[in-house]
Every structure is written in structure tokens, then in C-alpha cells.
Chain A
Amino acid sequence: MTNRQNWLPRAKSILIRSSVLAGLVLTPATALASQQDPAGTSQESDVLFERIEQMEAELAQLRERLEQAEAQAAQAQATAEARPPVVTVPPMSEPSRGLWRPSVSDVAVQFGGYADVSAAISDSASNGDVSFSAGSFNPLLLVQYRDLLLFEGEAELEIGSNGETELALEYTQLDIFLHDNATLVVGKFLSPVGQFQERLHPSWINRLADAPAGFGHDGVQPASEVGVQLRGGVPLGSSRLTYAAAIGNGPRLNGAGAVMAEGFGGDDNGNKAISGRIGFLPTPYMEVGASALFSRVNGPSGEEPVDDHASTNARTIQSVTGDAELGDLSAYAVDYNLWGVDAAYTRGPWDVRFEYLRGVRDAISVPGHDGDDPEEALERLRMTAWYGQVAYRLTGLTDDPVLGNFEPVIRYGEFNVSGLEELAEEAAEQRWDVGLNYWFAPSVVLHTALQYREFTDRHSDEVTDDLRLLFKVSYGF
């Protein structure tokens, strides 16, 4: 088709040039023939007429070929128009799930989070029925500006046992990427102490339906902090060192003298808490870490604490009420320090974890009457929590697509308390969990677990143990 298209203008050009040449030749030849002697020029005229006849024949041939070419060109064009167009589909680069950002924009926004619903059957429930729970809904908003800033904000919505919807801000932080190995975090962030609260507590990541004893909200493990944090990871050959160090407002004491390590929006004593964790990964599937928290806390003010974080998980540290005879001890500040270690092994189908935390709040003493020796208003509080957990995905044993989605898991943990009788009665326990997970997708799981709790510091006339069957469906998105 390309050759035919090129031939057409060439034929036209030949035709035009031939016509001009014929005109130039015919005009002077005719004039000469009329002016010169007919006898002397008759032979030349014959030659000229012969040449003119040849040119007229060539002109006719050219006209014919031109008509043929035009017909072929029209036919080729009709054929081309009848053929389906060739469409080049570029690689799909912008699907669009949960996301809004033009590809050329500096700002990217993503919505994510997780949600769960659960049910529990307890042998100590007053009515013995199944207790359903809407669980929690944790929407997460991420807004990134180039490779410089990232805003993270996560809320937690829960329906409490009293039917009221509770809203809490899990964290709201601005991450500033200083360089590949350092990120500055400001705002309210999850405490870097330990591994469970910061990285494992979302219900679709946690291998069991609830947090280990003494971990998560209202445990010895700090939940969050308000302040500034520097963190990052540094490659060491094939290994990696991770670090996180934070300065924040620190924990407070409730009315009974128990420690509340939620992120408070103000500092009640002017002493900033320092916390952090160092982690080492000798291989990508093995990690050991050490954490610490150093802080000072004011004594209880004598006011009744407000239980603003009701939980379905039995009674909590914040619900421990104080002794009215304590009086106002807020003028007395003491140290509250915590340290811990953790380890993880996550190769192939295995998920093995261990974590230990120990927190100590110093005793609070007040001056004695009339110059007597100081009296101990609150004795030293010691809290220890630890757990060991093993989960194994059955894909390590079978290629069956259904059986491979099952994951047996077992966990044992303890939360021990000394120095605060009320807290020990409420929260000290030993807990066994034997569970079986079914993974519908990498972030969709059904947790089932049989849980036995023995409350180690309760009186014999109280509920001293509890056997529960737990179900929870979690979806991370």
C-alpha cells in the first residue's frame, strides 16, 4: 500500500511534465510549418507529426495508468478502514483501591485499618450465654508528601459492654524521613517498648483473639506516648540493627497508685519520660530486642480515677480504685522504670515469640508527724508480665489448599503484681491459650481459642479462674 501511494503523485508529475513538453514542442512546430516553404519542409513536418503522435500515445497510456492507480488507492483505503484498529494497551499502573492520588501528584492518600467481630462463651458468666461483641473498628489514614513526610492517624471505635460507642485516638503522628536510616516522629505514637503493642496488637496480626496477660491496653506494657521519637534501621552486612528512642510526657498514677502508661496530652510533673528499644536481626527471620522506660510519676491526688477506657477484657488497671485514706500525694514524685526483652523467630510456617517486661514504681513516703520518721504511704509496686507463643501454619505439612490455611497456636503468659493489693487481685493471673486459626486470605482470619485464666491473687470467695471459648474474625485492609 505504501508503494502504491508513492506511485500516484509520481504518475501525476509525469503526466504534467509530458503535457507541458508536448505544448512547447507543438506550438513552435506549427508556426514554423506555416511560415516556411512547404516543399522544403514537408519532410521535417512528417517527422514532427510522427513524434507528436508518439507523445499523444504515451499521454494516453499515462492517463490509463493514472486511473488504475487512483482506483487501487481507493480500494486500499476502503480495506484499511474496514480492519479493526490496532490498540496498544499500556501496562496498568494505577489501579485504585483505597486510594486517591493523581500519578503526578506529590501527595498520596490511603485509607486502611482493620476491624473485627467476636464472641465469647465463659463458664463464669452470670447467665452462661454467648456474649457477642462488635469488636473494634480501627480506621487508619495515611497521607504522604513525597519521600519527606508521612502523616499517620488511627482511631479506635469500640462498643463497650454497656452499649456505648467509645472512640479513642490510637495514634496521630507525623513522620519526617531524615535519611534512609533515621525518621523523626512527632505527636502521639505507639510506645516503642517491646514488640507486641507497636507491631503485633492489630487483631489480624495477633495470632490469638486477645492480648497476652499484662500486655496491650492497661497492661504493664506502655500503650502510647506523646512526644518526639527518633527511629530507624541500619544494615550491618546481612544483619540489621533497629533503634527507637522517645521523649514524652510519660505515665501517670491512678488513684490507687497503679501506673497508667497511655499517651497523655500533658506532663503533670515536668519530668520527661525516656523510652526506647534496640533490636538486632542476625537473619531476616530472627530478632532479639531490649527495651527500657525511665520516668517519674507523681503520687495519686486522692481523687477517684475516671475509667475512660472501659474494656470487655474483665477488669483493668485503670478500674482499680484508690484508698480514700491515701489523701493527696501528688506533691511526691517517684521513679517508675521498666525494662524488657523480646525475641521472635518467623521462618516459613513458624511464628515463635517471647516477651518479658518488668516495671517498678518506687515507694511513696510522706514525712511523719511531729518529726517522726517518714511513713510509707504507698509501698514499692512491682509488675512483671511475660508470654511465650508458638504458631505453626500447616502449609509446612500439607499441600492441601484447605488444610494449609489452618494454624494451631499455643500461648502461655503471666502477669504478676506485688506491692498493690487491689491491682494484684484484679489483674494478676496465669493464662493458657490453645487456639486454631483459619486464614481465608493473608489478612482475613478466624481466631478460635480455648482460654484458661487463673487469677492468682484473689480471695477464695471471688472468681479465681475462668474458662472461655473465644471466636474472632479479623480483617486487615
Chain B
Amino acid sequence: MNKSTAAIGGFALLFGVGTALAQSGGGDPEDNGAAIARGAQAWADSCGACHNVRSPSEYGDVSWDVAVAHMRVRANIPGNVARDIVAFLQSSNDPAPAPVARPVSQLSTAPAATVAAPSAVQAVDIGNGSRIYAQTCVACHGADGTGALPGTPDFTDSDGALAKSDEELIRNMSEGFQSPGSAIPMPAHGGNHELDEQDMADTLAYLRSEFGSR
């Protein structure tokens, strides 16, 4: 009797504390880009605490809804963080976005892969690239560029990923890429399809300036 009463009291206390400490933290639900960026980091942080992170492409959108709800309970992930993770996974499991429709007079016979060539962008903005890296890329590539997840390429390696041409790297960023030795592929646009060609070029410029040897 006494123990049960204490237990119920404890439950009420915990629930009250949980409610009192509840933080919105999820930001504007309409700001999907920010949710995706937060979700990328939370995905790497939360899932990797117990097991290898799975590729976003392993499940469809609704499957990720259910699977993350399961992990929300098992790993005590706050609900707003879980929703961010779902936003990132559902964004990342899409294929590369279709090329933007253009007027008839501007249509090219070149394959879609070449549409994303950096020739279409204006002067690069390294500051913008730095912000994008910190929001979207850092979850897997790490703040120091050496890779936060097993198998992620080391940007500081002079013979590594940054030895590739700009065109190839932009293509990898835009369409997604499976690095040899990495357990999961990088999703197109790092999983954030709100990023455009200019953002890709800005991010590459930041990578070269921060980690590159040339």
C-alpha cells in the first residue's frame, strides 16, 4: 500500500517535472529546411548511440514515421527531436530532385547530370557554405572534416575526396554518392532538398578553403 502510493506519487512527480521541463525546441513547424538540418544531426547523434545508423533509403516515408516512433520510446528521444529526424530521413530517402523546368528556348540536350555544373552559379559565398556545412553536413562529416560516422571520407586527406574535380564533387553532392567503405550513402543534397546549385557551390568552396590542400 505504502509502496504503491509512493509509486503513484513518483509517477505524478515525474510527469509533472517532464511537463514543466517540456521545451518546444522544434522551432517553426513550417520551417522544414531547419527541421531537416536539425534532424540530420539528431539522426547521427541519437541512432549511433546504440547501433550503426541505417541508410535513409532503407525505408519509405511512412516506415520512418513508425520506426522513429519506436526509437522515440526505446531511446527516450524527445518528440520534437524525433520529428526532426523523421523530416531528415523522409527528405533524404527521396531520389535526386528533378531538374528545374526551364523555358523552351533554354532547354539543352545535355543529360541531367551536367545541368548541375557550377557554371550556372554566381560568385561563391564561403560564409553561406560554412553555415550549410554546420547545419547539414556536419552530422556525418564532423566539425573537423575527418568524418563523424564510420567510413565517412576524410576531407583533410590530400589524396581523399577533395582531390576530385569541382564538377565531380558538385555532381556527388547534388545526386548523392556512396563512398567506398562507408556504411551508408550520402543522400542527394545531403538530405536537404531545399539547397540549390548555388548552395552546393558555396559549400564546396567552404570545404576547399577549410579542409582542402589546394
Contact A230 B15 (CB under 8 A): yes
Contact B180 A142 (CB under 8 A): no
Chain A stretch 204-237: residues in CB contact (< 8 A) with chain B: 204-205, 228, 230-235
Task: Verify if A439 is at the interface (C-beta below 8 Å from B).
Answer: yes
Contact A235 B66 (CB under 8 A): no
Contact B76 A91 (CB under 8 A): no
Contact B23 A101 (CB under 8 A): no
B193 CB, min distance to chain A CBs, angstroms: 8
Contact A99 B150 (CB under 8 A): no
Chain A residues, Cβ within 8 Å of B153: 399
Chain A residues, Cβ within 8 Å of B90: 93
* Complex-state Cα separation, A242 to B50, whole angstroms: 15
Contact A399 B18 (CB under 8 A): no
Chain B stretch 62-90: residues in CB contact (< 8 A) with chain A: 62-63, 65-67, 69-70, 72-81, 90
Chain A residues, Cβ within 8 Å of B22: 179-182, 234
* Complex-state Cα separation, A393 to B150, whole angstroms: 7
B182 CB, min distance to chain A CBs, angstroms: 8
Question: Which bucket holds chain A's interface residue count?
Answer: 35 or more
Which single member of B7, B18, B19, B152 contacts A243 (CB below 8 Å)?
B18
B31 CB, min distance to chain A CBs, angstroms: 17
Contact B50 A279 (CB under 8 A): no
Chain A residues, Cβ within 8 Å of B59: 95, 97-99
Task: Verify if A103 is at the interface (C-beta below 8 Å from B).
Answer: yes
Spot the interface stretch: A31-39, A343-351, A359-367, A428-436: A343-351
Contact A182 B150 (CB under 8 A): no
Contact A346 B18 (CB under 8 A): no
Chain B stretch 1-29: residues in CB contact (< 8 A) with chain A: 3-4, 6-8, 10-11, 14-15, 17-19, 21-26
Contact A142 B151 (CB under 8 A): no
Which single member of B11, B61, B66, B67 contacts A93 (CB below 8 Å)?
B61
Of the candidates B10, B44, B65, B80, the one having the most CB atoms from chain A within 10 angstroms of its own CB is B65
Contact A177 B54 (CB under 8 A): no
Of the candidates B14, B24, B73, B149, the one having the most CB atoms from chain A within 10 angstroms of its own CB is B73
Contact B70 A199 (CB under 8 A): no
* Complex-state Cα separation, A96 to B93, whole angstroms: 12
Task: Verify if B51 is at the interface (C-beta below 8 Å from A).
Answer: yes
Chain A residues, Cβ within 8 Å of B75: 199, 233, 242
Which single member of A179, A204, A476 contacts B79 (CB below 8 Å)?
A179
Task: Verify if B195 is at the interface (C-beta below 8 Å from A).
Answer: no
Which single member of A144, A245, A399 contacts B14 (CB below 8 Å)?
A245
Contact B70 A230 (CB under 8 A): no
Task: Verify if B52 is at the interface (C-beta below 8 Å from A).
Answer: yes
Q: Which residue of A lies closest to B148 (CB)?
A: A348
A 405-427 binary contact with B (CB < 8 Å = 1; else 0): 10000000000000000000000
A394 CB, min distance to chain B CBs, angstroms: 9
Task: Verify if A112 is at the interface (C-beta below 8 Å from B).
Answer: yes
Which single member of A97, A185, A287, A395 contacts B181 (CB below 8 Å)?
A395
Contact A97 B7 (CB under 8 A): no
Given known A96-B60, A245-B10, A348-B150, contact A205–B18 (CB-CB < 8 A): no
Task: Verify if B154 is at the interface (C-beta below 8 Å from A).
Answer: yes
Task: Verify if B97 is at the interface (C-beta below 8 Å from A).
Answer: yes
* Complex-state Cα separation, A289 to B97, whole angstroms: 43
B 35-68 binary contact with A (CB < 8 Å = 1; else 0): 0000000001110111111110011111101110
* Complex-state Cα separation, A344 to B180, whole angstroms: 28
Q: Which residue of A lies closest to B79 (CB)?
A: A180
Contact B4 A247 (CB under 8 A): yes
Contact B50 A199 (CB under 8 A): yes
* Complex-state Cα separation, A185 to B97, whole angstroms: 40
User: Can you pick out 29 interface pairs between chain A and chain B where the beta carbons lie within 8 Å of each other?
Assistant: A91-B95, A91-B98, A94-B62, A103-B62, A142-B70, A147-B79, A150-B66, A180-B24, A181-B22, A181-B23, A181-B79, A182-B19, A183-B73, A199-B50, A199-B74, A205-B51, A230-B18, A232-B78, A234-B78, A242-B75, A247-B4, A247-B7, A272-B7, A274-B3, A349-B150, A401-B151, A439-B52, A442-B53, A443-B51
Excluding A95-B60, A103-B61, A182-B19, 19 further A-B contacts by CB distance (< 8 Å) are A91-B97, A94-B62, A95-B59, A97-B63, A112-B67, A142-B66, A175-B69, A198-B74, A199-B75, A232-B18, A234-B17, A243-B76, A245-B10, A285-B48, A346-B49, A396-B150, A399-B157, A401-B151, A405-B181
- Point out residues on A near B: beta carbons under 8 Å: 88-89, 91-99, 101, 103, 108-110, 112, 142-144, 147, 150, 152, 175, 177-183, 185, 198-200, 204-205, 228, 230-235, 240, 242-245, 247, 271-272, 274, 279, 281, 284-285, 287, 294, 344, 346-349, 393, 395-396, 398-402, 404-405, 439, 441-443, 476
